Amino acid sequence: MSGIQSHSQNSPQSLLAKAEKLVRETGKGVIRGLYKYWATTYDGMLVRRLGYRAPELVAAALAERMADGEQTVLDVGCGTGLTAKALLALRQDTIDGIDFSPEMLERAREKGLYRDLVRADVTKPLPLPDASYDAAISSGLFTHGHVGSEAIPHILAAIKPSGLFGFTVYWKVWQRAGFARMLDELTASGRIEVLHHSQESHFRVLKGQQVHTLVVRVNAAAG
């Protein structure tokens, strides 16, 4: 990260570089530790300092394609609740959150936006009934050192046939963590149809940083 030194210590660039370095250097087993300490300052750093807007991007793309009327939605990797907040600014839905960090779940609980909050690792089968949600939403989960494409089938299993899944994928892991291939395979098998796919900056302050934003329709699992 030779660029870090050229930024002042508290510039948005420096804060993001530090966060990315931390994430790269922590193994998957200790990523929870990152959020244990980040939970209390997460909203302030990402939203107020960097203008983080991935939750708004995915909420807008999903809301545009959802049926009218209140729906049940699973917020995957819900963190402190920014994604639910963005969706509820556009629609009235019943939202459950799932995340493996107790500290992030506690911040989410304090916001009072969720019906239920579940603590679980989403790289494993979810502890939720199959086909139980009208839609799922996720921002910021599919990124450096976090969760790869292996979680997608578990999330799809929780969504009702013809339901929607809106999510962001950090552009640098799109190929590397298998998202492009996984989504091509799921499309080819008829399990999903891609309704929306865009790529744009997910920080108002750092224009070079991008995410893919997708909305897919989920078809019934074969067999």
Ligand X SMILES: C[S@@+](CC[C@H](N)C(=O)[O-])C[C@H]1O[C@@H](n2cnc3c(N)ncnc32)[C@H](O)[C@@H]1O
The reply to whether 165 sits near ligand X by the rule CB under 6 A is no
Structure tokens at 9: 């210590």
Binding mask 33-52 for ligand X (x = CB under 6 A): --x-----------------
The residues with which 159 forms a beta bridge, in sequence order, are 133
Supply the DSSP symbol for 52. Answer: B
Cα distances (Å, whole numbers) of residue 66 to 137, 194, 200: 12, 14, 22
- Closest to ligand X by CB, 115 vs 189, is 115
The reply to whether 104 sits near ligand X by the rule CB under 6 A is yes
- The minimum distance between CB 140 and ligand X, in angstroms, equals 3
- The minimum distance between CB 222 and ligand X, in angstroms, equals 26
User: How do 94-99 and 72-76 pair as beta strands?
Assistant: parallel
Binding mask 64-93 for ligand X (x = CB under 6 A): -------------xxx--xx----------
Instruction: State the residue for tokens 């506690």.
Output: 106
Structure tokens at 152: 């997608």
The reply to whether 141 sits near ligand X by the rule CB under 6 A is yes
Q: Select the residue whose beta carbon is closest to ligand X and give its number.
A: 79
- The minimum distance between CB 74 and ligand X, in angstroms, equals 12
Distance CA 90, CA 97 (A): 18
Contacts of 70 (CB under 8 A, 6+ apart): 91, 92, 93, 94
Contacting range for ligand X; rule: CB under 6 A; set: 60-68, 138-146, 178-186, 191-199: 138-146
- The minimum distance between CB 95 and ligand X, in angstroms, equals 12
Instruction: State the residue for tokens 């500290």.
Output: 103
Of the residues 53, 85, 146, 191, which one makes contact with ligand X according to CB under 6 A: 146
Cα angle, residue 171 at apex, residues 188 and 126 outer, rounded to 5°: 60
Q: Which residues bind ligand X (CB under 6 A)?
A: 31, 35, 54-55, 77-79, 82-83, 99-101, 104, 121-123, 139-141, 146-147
